[in-house]
């Protein structure tokens, strides 16, 4: 937190403010909840350390009543926040994961990847990749095994899921798996992409007329990933030269969810359309929520449309 006398150098609404004295004030995802038993959903959670060397951790969730030897799908979840805000412990994400686990009857691992600017990109991707490697290690006889994964997870039913920047991470991990030996250890059944954070220099669709929000999203990305490629860096624009072929995604199914009023909607729709035409052998599904904006379900989890979104995700995991 900056001193009162320091001026704001950069206002990255709604995520954070950077002050001229170099200090940082995060505005989003700062209210946190501890793990434990959620009385509303009857879901249990606990925090676990994945990589002691880097401090990468996660919050793992399971239904309170799991009858052994019942094995459940594992959903590896990556939270949003434009790579610079929020965590699995954030009130909104903890609440959302409890509801998702209860609705879908799954085990969920919400990854606490490190944030920009303290940890510049690609740290978030590397931390998330390390979490996947750790999950895959549970197929080995010996290792640092987590009891909830060992006892309750069907390791041949793993899904990657995320919202906003978390959906972006899921996309890149699914491409990386195809190119690595992890593909022999870990089968990704599907990816749930909620309001994916993809972008580009040249505006499309509503980005052309909504100049205010176009500039806002530009500013987010240029802050978290300063480079000469700008908003056409392959990390944020999956369609530019140098990007991996979508046909190489290592999964059988993808569900792309967008919101009608979201400035990122056009990119999500484009991603779905390009994927379908890419030669990828899987099954792609698309869902658009009318009348709603970016990650509305995180901020209003009890509204009817948020419940519908969670139900659609839950059915995706069960198919």
Between residues 140 and 84, which one has the greater pLDDT? 84
Give the mean pLDDT of the chain.
94
- pLDDT for res 17: 94
The structural domain count of the chain equals 1
Domain extent at residue 245? 35-317
pLDDT in tens, 262-285: 999 999 999 999 999 999 999 999
Share of the chain above pLDDT 70, in %: 97
Is the confidence at residue 52, as pLDDT, over 80? yes
Report the DSSP pairing between strands 72-78 and 8-12: unpaired
The verdict on residue 7 lying in a domain is no
Give the residue from 155, 149, 74 showing the smallest Cα distance to 108: 74
157 three-class SS: strand
Percentages (nearest 5) of helix, strand, coil residues in the chain: 35, 25, 40
Alpha-carbon span 232 to 26, nearest angstrom: 26
Is the confidence at residue 83, as pLDDT, over 80? yes
The verdict on residue 123 lying in a domain is yes
The verdict on residue 219 lying in a domain is yes
Alpha-carbon span 55 to 57, nearest angstrom: 6
- pLDDT for res 4: 55
pLDDT category, 5, cuts 50, 70, 90?
low
pLDDT in tens, 26-41: 999 999 999 999 999 9
Half-sphere exposure of residue 151, counting CA atoms within 13 Å on the CB side? 9
The verdict on residue 109 lying in a domain is yes
Alpha helices in the chain (DSSP H): 91-104, 123-136, 147-152, 165-178, 211-224, 265-277, 296-299, 304-318
The verdict on residue 6 lying in a domain is no
The verdict on residue 25 lying in a domain is no
Half-sphere exposure of residue 290, counting CA atoms within 13 Å on the CB side? 0
Give the residue from 296, 318, 314 showing the smallest Cα distance to 305: 296
Q: Which two tokens stand for residue 234?
A: 């392959």
- pLDDT for res 144: 74
pLDDT in tens, 289-318: 999 999 999 999 999 999 999 999 999 999
Alpha-carbon span 170 to 159, nearest angstrom: 9
Share of the chain above pLDDT 90, in %: 89
- On whether the CB atoms of residues 184 and 247 are closer than 8 A, the answer is no
Alpha-carbon span 33 to 90, nearest angstrom: 6
Question: What does DSSP assign to residue 108?
Answer: E
Q: What is the pTM of this model?
A: 0.96
Separate counts of helices (H) and strands (E) for the chain: 8, 12
- Helix axis angle for 123-136 and 165-178, nearest 10°, is 60
Alpha-carbon span 272 to 292, nearest angstrom: 19
Backbone CA torsion sign across 77, 79, 83, 84: negative
- Cα separations in angstroms, 50 against 19, 111, 144, 175: 33, 9, 9, 22
Q: Phi and psi at residue 247, in whole multiples of 5°?
A: -65, -15
The verdict on residue 22 lying in a domain is no
pLDDT in tens, 189-238: 999 999 999 999 999 999 999 999 999 999 999 999 999 999 999 999 99
Give the residue from 66, 70, 243 showing the smallest Cα distance to 168: 243
* Residue positions counted in the chain: 319
In degrees to the nearest 10, what's the CA dihedral of 232, 128, 90, 190?
90
- pLDDT for res 2: 45
Token look-up 């709604």 returns 14
> Any idea which residues carry the catalytic annotation?
164, 262, 294
Is the confidence at residue 3, as pLDDT, over 80? no
The verdict on residue 3 lying in a domain is no
pLDDT category, 113, cuts 50, 70, 90?
very high
> For the residues 183-193, what does the mean pLDDT come to?
92
- pLDDT for res 242: 87
Domain CATH number, residue 117: 3.40.50.1820
- pLDDT for res 141: 79
């Amino acid at each position: 937190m900056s001193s009162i006398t320091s001026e704001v150098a950069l206002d990255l609404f709604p995520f954070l403010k950077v002050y001229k004295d170099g200090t940082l004030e995060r505005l989003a995802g700062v209210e946190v909840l501890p793990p434990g038993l959620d009385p509303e959903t009857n879901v249990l959670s606990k925090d676990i350390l994945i990589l002691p060397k880097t401090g990468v951790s996660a919050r793992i969730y399971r239904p309170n009543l799991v009858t052994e030897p019942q094995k459940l799908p594992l959903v590896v979840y990556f939270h949003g926040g434009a790579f610079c805000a929020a965590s699995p412990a954030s009130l909104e994400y903890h609440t959302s994961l409890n509801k998702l686990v209860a609705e879908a009857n799954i085990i969920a691992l919400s990854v606490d990847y490190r944030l920009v600017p303290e940890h510049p990109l690609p740290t978030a991707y590397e931390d998330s990749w390390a979490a996947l490697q750790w999950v895959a290690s549970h197929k080995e006889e010996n290792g640092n095994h987590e009891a909830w994964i060992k006892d309750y997870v069907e390791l041949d039913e793993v899904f990657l899921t995320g919202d906003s920047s978390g959906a972006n991470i899921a996309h890149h991990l699914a491409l990386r798996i195809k190119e690595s030996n992890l593909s022999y250890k870990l089968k990704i059944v599907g990816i749930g992409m909620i309001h994916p954070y993809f972008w580009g220099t040249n505006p499309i669709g509503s980005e052309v007329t909504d100049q205010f929000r176009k500039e806002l999203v530009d500013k987010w990305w240029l802050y978290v990933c300063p480079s000469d490629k700008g908003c056409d860096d392959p990390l944020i624009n999956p369609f530019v030269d140098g990007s991996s072929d979508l046909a190489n995604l290592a999964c059988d199914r993808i569900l792309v969810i967008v919101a009608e009023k979201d400035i990122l909607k056009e990119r999500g729709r484009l991603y779905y359309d390009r994927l379908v035409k890419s030669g990828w052998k899987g099954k792609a599904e698309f869902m658009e929520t009318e009348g709603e904006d970016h990650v509305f379900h995180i901020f209003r989890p009890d509204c009817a449309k948020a419940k519908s979104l969670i139900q659609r995700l839950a059915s995706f995991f069960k198919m």
